[in-house]
Amino acid sequence: MPQARILVFAGSTAPAAAASRLAAAFARELAFLDADVTLISLADYSLPLHDPDAPRPQVPIAAAKLRSLLKGHHAAFIATPEINGSVPALLKNVVDWLEEEELPFRPLSGRIFALGSVSADGSGGRLALAHLRAMLADGLAATIVGRGLAIGDADSSFDDKGRLDDPRQAAAMQALARELVFVARRLAAEP
* Res 173: pLDDT: 98
Residue 178 φ then ψ, to 5°: -60, -45
* Res 104: pLDDT: 44
Task: Determine the Cα–Cα distance for residues 148 and 133; give it in Å rounded to an integer.
Answer: 9
* Res 107: pLDDT: 54
* Res 100: pLDDT: 66
CATH class belonging to 5-189: alpha beta
* Res 118: pLDDT: 97
Beta 5-10 vs 36-39: how paired, if at all?
Answer: parallel
Nearest Cα to 19, choosing from 29, 9, 32, 30?
Answer: 9
pLDDT (tens place) for every residue of the chain, 191 residues total: 789 999 999 999 999 999 999 999 999 999 999 999 999 999 999 999 988 888 866 789 999 999 999 989 999 999 999 999 999 999 999 999 987 665 544 556 678 999 999 999 999 999 999 999 999 998 888 999 999 999 999 999 999 999 999 999 999 999 999 999 999 999 888 76
* Res 82: pLDDT: 97
Q: Which helix (H) or strand (E) holds 76?
A: strand 75-81
Q: List the domain boundaries for the chain.
A: 5-189
Number of H helices, E strands in the chain: 6, 6
Nearest Cα to 97, choosing from 133, 131, 61?
Answer: 61
* Res 59: pLDDT: 85
